[in-house]
Amino acid sequence: MISILLASYNGEKFIAEQINSLLQQTIHDFRLYIRDDRSTDSTFHIIQGFAEKHPDKIFVAQNDANLGAKYNFMKMMIEHKDAYVMLCDQDDVWLTEKIEVTLAKMKKMESEFGEKTPLLVHTDLRVVNEKLETVSPSFKAAMNADYSKTKLHHQVIQNTLTGCTVMYNRALADLITQTPSFMVAHDWWLMLIASAFGHISSLDNQTILYRQHTKNEIGARDVRATGYKINKLLHYREIKNALNDTYLQAQCFLDVHKERLTEGQKEFLLAYCDIPNHSKLIRWFIICRLGVLKNGWARKAANFIFI
């Protein structure tokens, strides 16, 4: 069975369309769990209506207090363990074969690595506007993402996972045992676990209409555009803060999983977390030695400038 986890908050405008796209999937062997984060609009009423119509498929709960999206997702990821788990945003539209093609890839991985190995599959997306008109046919291309970089030293500096595209298996779900004291994002934390203890694979299929609108918590930007690069340089403190967050997240990951990590992984994470304690020149040497460079020349340049 597949568990789909949807974290909702003030999503009245689009959430019904998203749930309907799940109900129209070519594979129906799933349960949808929705946890509302104390919405102040009609979202909770809408999802309760779906649960009443589909009592054996859709299950609704509500938090006692507002947690924020990443912590709402983490709460669900800790609570729900199944043969396969998928994450779902409230404002997108799943293409009808999303579950089918992702599950097929997962089955192929299981035949190669075994069902008891932590496994994760993710896909590309089609970026659309509020009216579902295509803005970019490939999120992967717009973000200049390299899905082949799946090792821990790749993921510690740059997350290549878009959480709403993911499927992971029970072996990986069992490693999600607690909410970390600090994480940049729930899907990044998930990717760190997969890169450290399992295997990651991807599909170039665009399986989701990734809707961009004014209330997106995290949106799609064409990082290849000159305007994007200039804007990033003008807001260089955000780059420095983002780098500092990766050190905090890596330290937290080390603390949570130190009993499971290999000695080599521990040494790597300790060295990475220690980068801010050195001079600029030494920092350059360390990031090259550890191989913690982002994808794309512009991101690499920002690494060296703002490290």
Q: Give the pLDDT of the chain (307 residues) as one tens digit per residue.
A: 999 999 999 999 999 999 999 999 999 999 999 999 999 999 999 999 999 999 999 999 999 999 999 999 999 999 999 999 999 999 999 999 999 999 999 999 999 999 999 999 999 999 999 999 999 999 999 999 999 999 999 999 999 999 999 999 999 999 999 999 999 999 999 999 999 999 999 999 999 999 998 665 555 555 445 444 445 455 567 888 999 999 999 999 999 999 999 999 999 999 999 999 999 899 899 999 999 988 766 666 666 676 7
How far, rounded to the nearest angstrom, does the alpha carbon of residue 283 sit from its chain's CA centroid? 28
Architecture of domain 2-211: Alpha-Beta Complex (3.90)
Q: Phi and psi (nearest 5°) for 31?
A: -120, 140
Helix orientation angle between 226-234 and 297-306, rounded to the nearest 10 degrees: 10
In this prediction the pTM is: 0.91
Query: Is residue 26 helix, strand or coil?
Result: coil
pLDDT at position 307, please? 73
- Kind and range of the H or E run holding 71: helix 69-79
Other C-beta atoms lying within 10 Å of the C-beta of residue 181:
10
Cβ-Cβ contacts under 8 Å for 55 (sequence gap 6 or more): none
pLDDT at position 213, please? 81
pLDDT in tens, 79-136: 999 999 999 999 999 999 999 999 999 999 999 999 999 999 999 999 999 999 999 9
Can you give the residue ranges of every domain in the chain?
2-211, 226-306
Pairwise CA distance, residues 215 & 110, whole Å: 38
pLDDT at position 293, please? 83
Which of 180, 171, 177 lies closest to 199 in space, CA to CA?
A: 171
Which of 68, 69, 45, 67 lies closest to 164 in space, CA to CA?
A: 69
pLDDT at position 88, please? 98
